[in-house]
């Protein structure tokens, strides 16, 4: 018979380090984590030697804009677009957004939210090990226009 005093084991935190290694993102980069379980992921990264990791509910402070090299999103697919819209401003130009998906097509709302926030996707990497995860390297549309104008 089950012992009611025993807690159910926690689901493992979103394991995205193999994908981050593939993208060349490591402990020296600044990371924001948003969504359910973000505290567990933040603690896991800190224990693994990452020093600049924060939990983010939404980007509200202008001083935090464009400070993160990496934004990790967690949660059900139907919430990822909204979560992207709330936190995308944290990403630097050229930063990477990573999200765990139920299906590869769950990525549509993330892309739409990035575009609505003035960002385009430069590169997409889909990792299917252990369930699909997507990584988007983003460009701020205004930043790219400014770079092109200065180069001309």
Reply yes or no on whether the pLDDT at 2 is more than 60. Answer: no
Residue 21, token pair as written in the block: 């290694």
Q: CATH number of the domain that 36 lies in? A: 3.40.50.150
Q: Is residue 19 part of a domain?
A: no
Is 101 within 8 Å of 111 (Cβ atoms)?
no
Q: Whole-angstrom Cα distance, residue 65 to residue 32?
A: 11
Q: Is residue 49 part of a domain?
A: yes
Give residue 3's pLDDT band: very low, low, confident or very high (50, 70, 90): very low
Q: What is the pLDDT of residues 49-75, one digit of tens each?
A: 998 999 887 655 655 567 899 999 998
Q: Whole-angstrom Cα distance, residue 90 to residue 104?
A: 24
Q: Is residue 24 part of a domain?
A: no
Note the pLDDT of residue 59. Answer: 59
pTM beyond 0.85: no
Q: Is residue 138 part of a domain?
A: yes
Average pLDDT over residues 36-43: 89
| Average pLDDT over all residues of the chain | 81
Q: Is residue 14 part of a domain?
A: no
Q: Is residue 57 part of a domain?
A: yes
Reply yes or no on whether the pLDDT at 9 is more than 60. Answer: no
Q: Between these two residues, 144 and 134, which has the higher pLDDT value?
A: 134
Please name every residue paired with 35 in a beta bridge, in sequence order, or none if there are none: none
Q: Name the domain count of the chain.
A: 1
Q: Is residue 146 part of a domain?
A: yes
Domain extent for 66 = 29-151
Average pLDDT over residues 31-42: 90
- Write down the H helix ranges in the chain: 17-23, 38-47, 77-87, 108-116, 141-151
Residue 109 makes CB contacts below 8 A (sequence gap 6+) with: 77, 78, 80, 81, 82, 84
Q: Is residue 53 part of a domain?
A: yes
């Amino acid at each position: 018979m089950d012992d009611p005093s025993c807690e159910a084991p926690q689901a493992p935190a979103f394991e995205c380090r193999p994908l981050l290694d593939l993208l060349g993102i490591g402990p020296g980069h600044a990371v924001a984590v948003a969504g359910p379980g973000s505290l567990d992921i933040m603690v896991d990264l800190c224990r693994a030697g990452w020093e600049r990791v924060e939990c983010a509910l939404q980007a509200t402070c202008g001083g935090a804009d464009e400070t993160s090299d990496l934004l990790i999103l967690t949660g059900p697919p139907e919430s990822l677009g909204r979560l992207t819209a709330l936190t995308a401003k944290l990403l630097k130009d050229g930063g990477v957004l990573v999200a765990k998906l139920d299906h590869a097509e769950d990525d549509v709302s993330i892309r739409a939210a990035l575009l609505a926030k003035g960002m385009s996707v430069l590169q997409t990497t889909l990792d299917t090990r252990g369930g699909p995860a997507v990584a988007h390297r983003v460009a701020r549309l205004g930043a790219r226009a400014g770079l092109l104008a200065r180069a001309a």
